Structure 1
């Protein structure tokens, strides 16, 4: 497994990370039906990722209200040294999984960390980050609490998630930030306008989630069949937007076919080409998908192919899906920005 550095002076992690959310939470907050089979498959997927050389495991204390961390600890048993554990915190939920809001008060952050350390059975969390900025709490206070956890040896590195440019600067001025977790894919390139240049200016790595855009870039949404929960969270997966996006994804499928691989592998390979400071997350709960997506590491797209993908995608946050049909000059304004993500 190739490695990449999180931030200018941060730790080395695997070039691809595993996003563990889907093992415990469905997009939008709904809890998936859990049985012994899905539990074993999720656990086996994390173990297979570690066996394949993936070190970055991305979880959150609110994924399944602790369920995800309990799953991770079972997978890293007796091989803690192979895992770089990233934990998001701060989102409050009801017993049904509905989101109540964000709590970024320093005392709450430290409380969350205490429970995560206990559930994970570790002495420290490698990367700790508030899932959002709490608008009712000065961001410096939230970040300051994590800085204190770092000084106490309970956290190694500071991360931030889903923040704007102002909060990224404020966080980094309070304590050096190792990584910014944010959505980034061929279908969602808004970070290229301000956030990515700023992260590089400050020496902050990017952990990219949604690299196949909730399945849009896998070519599996033919016929317009989309999970209702996903469609409710992303306008690009709704109605006319979805139909236009599926037409645009045709080029990605053609490129995959010419390379003898899957569309998702091309999408991940493109993401890997965007810079050594970007670590894409594979968000899956199945070993078969994990193995398939890791195949992206063996694909080398030509400069011509990369340029073609760039030409047919757009960093505009208002575009339908980023990918433009061949010959299109300007993407239509048909909704690419997702609603708040848990």
Structure 2
């Protein structure tokens, strides 16, 4: 495994992290036994940066990770989040609460579930427009002083919010969706991240499972992806054709299409640390090998040209969930 710096903290984390959401939330086929084996395999592979949130499965994901963390705490740089309140009927656009009162409750409950005394990187999951960002970050900074949080991050925040927040306390990382299919943070947001010396932590770097050899578009009932425009109608047909051509490109290079997608992200900057999610060891091993792949300039151009041939990819979220981003 290769390693990169987490913002200006001096901490080295694996060049790809492990997104743990799907082990307990949104997707079907959950298997705690395999998920726990995947967490242990991540340690073996040197993937020391794990990402969760209190929102994922209404705390279930943190509980799952706690089983492994309690014996391996010194081996893991742990990221979690607060700010989204779980509603089973609305897994994509639930209530936001960035108040100091909810922070206090959410953080202490997360610490209990995770069986740890501190969280390395604690994010505001979504910016609460009803609470000044200075107030939220000020309250988070108090917990940094207490040693319950080591570093502060934001998720899906605008450039203006990042700048305001950083005046109150150093923001070490921004987590936002960023992939070959989602490039909206390029420009102003990414410029601010680079300007402030932050890390960018792209989630869903594999398009929520699209960047796989066997992507057919068939999704089981109960899977939250059925609610996403990219997995519906003409957008889905567009994306199936797109993935076929990307798979052909990957096969010529004798690698997996997932590895191409991750390698593309890694090529965009040394401060970019994708967190592909998986609940299976076999996919974790494929993802881990992405750090060994270096795309040439011509290959990057070819990949981006393939994407541009299929423009009808669709929005990454329905409008209700999009409205919670870039605040």
- Equivalent residue for 2:68? 75
Q: In the superposition, relative to structure 1, how do residues 245 and 116 fare at CA in structure 2: closer, same or farther (>3 Å)?
A: same
- Equivalent residue for 1:142? 136
Q: Kindly indicate whether the alpha-carbon contact (under 8 Å) linking 2:266 and 2:273 is maintained by their aligned counterparts in 1.
A: yes
- Equivalent residue for 1:51? 44
Where does the alignment leave 5 or more consecutive residues of structure 2 unmatched?
Answer: none
- Equivalent residue for 1:25? 25
Q: Find out whether 1:14 has 2:17 as its counterpart.
A: no
In the TM superposition, 1:179-258 aligns within 5 A as 179-222=173-216, 224-227=217-220, 229-258=223-252
Aligned length: 319
Q: Kindly indicate whether the alpha-carbon contact (under 8 Å) linking 2:24 and 2:56 is maintained by their aligned counterparts in 1.
A: yes
- Equivalent residue for 1:90? 83
Q: What is the CA distance between 1:338 and its match in structure 2?
A: 2.2
- Equivalent residue for 1:324? 308
Provide Cα deviations, 1:28-57, integer angstroms capped at 9, x if missing partner. Answer: xxxx575xxx11111111111111101111
Q: Find out whether 1:293 has 2:287 as its counterpart.
A: yes
- Equivalent residue for 2:95? 101
Provide the TM-score with structure 2 as the length reference.
0.91
- Equivalent residue for 2:123? 129
CA RMSD of aligned residues (A): 2.1
Compare relative contact order (CA 8 Å, sep 6+) and give the higher one, 1 or 2: 2
Q: What is the CA distance between 1:255 and its match in structure 2?
A: 1.5
Runs (4+) of structure 1 exceeding 6 A deviation are: none
Match of 1:110 among 81, 104, 127: 104
Q: What is the CA distance between 1:230 and its match in structure 2?
A: 4.3
Provide the TM-score with structure 1 as the length reference.
0.87
Q: Kindly indicate whether the alpha-carbon contact (under 8 Å) linking 1:214 and 1:230 is maintained by their aligned counterparts in 2.
A: no
Provide Cα deviations, 1:112-137, integer angstroms capped at 9, x if missing partner. Answer: 11111122121211001111011211
Q: In the superposition, relative to structure 1, how do residues 226 and 119 fare at CA in structure 2: closer, same or farther (>3 Å)?
A: closer
